[in-house]
């Protein structure tokens, strides 16, 4: 089940909200645990077991890490290591086993060929997200950044919390520690959450899905039909699809959290207005970047070490970041790709851009990100190379043709909407209108209602509603 579905909107969520607000405050975490497990198990009930195992592992490890943190640091650290090893072992088995074995079998050793590939094994959706979350609990306890959660139902609610379970944001335990114990519930917060959810859903359904349909149309063109203009236009639509899809899901998660009394941190902050790659990654998937910074980069020494070790730390983080996104070489290359630019910016590029007009850095960032998406989207590297050839006139019939030109003209208004929607201006306009008074707020509510109706109509009429995070 996904947020952008009729089953979620008019069945699951409606029933969940009703039950959640009927039960007493003391039992709401228990309700969240039950309904979140039901949400996750809707499509793949067998993998609920894995989540329950993760809950038990980290509940026990967190308890003992907290128990020995002051009296026996070595023993406390041992439980942190146990948590990390067990969680990462589960993640690696389900996500990377086939990838690792298939690459090992390329080596000329007969015994490697006898290892089963398990190609039919499905990846539990969202396993990378909730693995990182459960690990953050034990680490936060060990560091003294959070209190031990003695109520296993409350801890289970944190791990399984359905708003951010399958597509993030990655919520660190220290950020919701207090909220799990006590959180506000009121009309204003619920209404704000509803508006955030609807705006996120509009991003996903009305913008991302439409951009994705355009991208798939261009991607599936053969050499006899492809054009240079069409290839560039297709990848541009993918760049918008992945942004609005991911940020839309994050907004929906944040909105759902508000309705339930939780305050999740922003996960996207208009990354396409960035003026450097460093700035881009401070704005894109902020929760992932924060996790790697807090639990990998800083423990390695961060930037409080020699320059050489600092570059080493960046390389390690970005190799892990790339591999986190999927069990395929293109993601590793994608991580290396960004690592190169981040290191170059540390060395000299940022200083260069400071002396140049700001638009230069902006153009540079968009170009780097654009080709980064080419590397990201093609798990089949040979298909990616072929498509890149189309973009530069290799193997295509023409630079353009009437159909591609027509697609460009037809899509011009949609592209303008996508460009504007990826900037802070719509949100700034919203706040300006919201401050105008009651009449403006009624108009905003009417717009939100209209977007909900449009999204519902799209879901009823269209079967195209991809879920991009199955590999995570």
* Catalytic positions: 325
- Dihedral (Cα; 395, 399, 403, 408), 10-degree rounding: 120
Which pairs from 332-341 meet CB under 8 Å and 24+ separation? 333/375, 333/381, 334/372, 334/375, 334/376, 337/372, 337/375, 338/277, 338/281, 338/372, 339/314, 339/315, 341/277, 341/368
**Contact present, 416 and 244 (Cβ < 8 Å):** no
Among residues 311, 36, 32, the alpha carbon closest in space to that of 179 is found at: 32
Count of residues for the chain?
Answer: 472
Q: d(Cα 235, Cα 17) in Å, to the nearest integer? A: 39
358 is written with which tokens?
């700001």
Q: How far is the CA of 185 from the CAs of 16, 169, 189, 260, in angstroms?
A: 15, 21, 7, 7
**Contact present, 157 and 136 (Cβ < 8 Å):** no
If DSSP codes are grouped into helix, strand and coil, which group holds residue 52? helix
Q: d(Cα 57, Cα 63) in Å, to the nearest integer? A: 10
Q: d(Cα 51, Cα 40) in Å, to the nearest integer? A: 9
């Amino acid at each position: 089940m996904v947020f952008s579905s009729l089953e979620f909107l008019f069945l699951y969520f409606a029933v969940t909200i009703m039950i959640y607000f009927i039960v007493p405050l003391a039992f709401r975490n228990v309700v969240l645990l039950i309904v979140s497990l039901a949400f996750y198990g809707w499509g793949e009930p067998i993998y609920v077991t894995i989540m329950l195992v993760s809950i038990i592992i980290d509940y026990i490890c967190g308890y003992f890490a907290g128990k020995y943190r002051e009296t026996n640091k070595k023993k406390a650290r041992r439980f942190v290591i146990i948590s990390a090893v067990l969680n990462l072992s589960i993640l690696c088995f389900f996500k990377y086993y086939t990838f690792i074995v298939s690459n090992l079998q390329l080596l000329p050793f007969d015994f490697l060929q006898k290892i089963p590939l398990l190609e039919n094994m499905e990846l539990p959706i969202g396993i990378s997200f909730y693995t990182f979350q459960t690990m953050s609990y034990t680490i936060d306890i060990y560091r003294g950044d959070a209190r031990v959660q003695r109520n296993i139902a409350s801890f289970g609610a944190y791990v399984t919390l359905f708003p951010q379970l399958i597509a993030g944001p990655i919520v660190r335990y220290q950020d919701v520690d207090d909220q799990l114990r006590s959180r506000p519930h009121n009309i204003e917060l619920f209404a704000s959450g509803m508006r955030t959810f609807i705006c996120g859903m509009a991003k996903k359904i009305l913008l991302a899905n439409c951009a994705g349909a355009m991208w798939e149309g261009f991607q599936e063109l053969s050499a006899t039909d492809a054009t240079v203009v069409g290839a560039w236009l297709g990848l541009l639509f993918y760049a918008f699809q992945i942004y609005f899809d991911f940020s839309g899901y994050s907004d929906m998660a944040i909105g759902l959290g508000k309705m339930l009394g939780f305050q999740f941190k922003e996960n996207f902050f208009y990354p396409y207005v960035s003026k450097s790659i460093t700035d881009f990654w401070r704005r894109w998937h902020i929760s992932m970047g924060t996790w790697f910074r807090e639990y990998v980069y800083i423990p390695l020494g961060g930037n409080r070490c020699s320059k050489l070790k600092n570059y080493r730390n960046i390389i390690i983080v970005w190799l892990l970041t790339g591999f986190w996104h999927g069990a395929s070489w293109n993601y590793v290359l994608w991580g290396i790709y960004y690592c190169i630019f981040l290191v170059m910016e540390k060395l000299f590029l940022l200083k260069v851009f400071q002396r140049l007009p700001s638009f230069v850095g902006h153009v540079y960032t968009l170009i780097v990100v654009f080709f980064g998406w080419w590397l990201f989207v093609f798990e089949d590297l040979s298909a990616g190379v072929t498509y890149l050839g189309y973009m530069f006139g290799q193997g295509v019939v023409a630079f353009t043709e009437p159909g591609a030109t027509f697609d460009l003209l037809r899509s011009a208004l949609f592209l303008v909407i996508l460009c504007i929607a990826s900037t802070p201006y719509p949100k700034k306009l919203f706040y300006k209108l919201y401050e105008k008074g009651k009449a403006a707020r009624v108009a905003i509510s009417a717009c939100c209602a209209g977007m909900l109706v449009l999204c519902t109509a799209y879901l009823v009429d269209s079967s195209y509603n991809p879920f991009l995070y199955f590999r995570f």
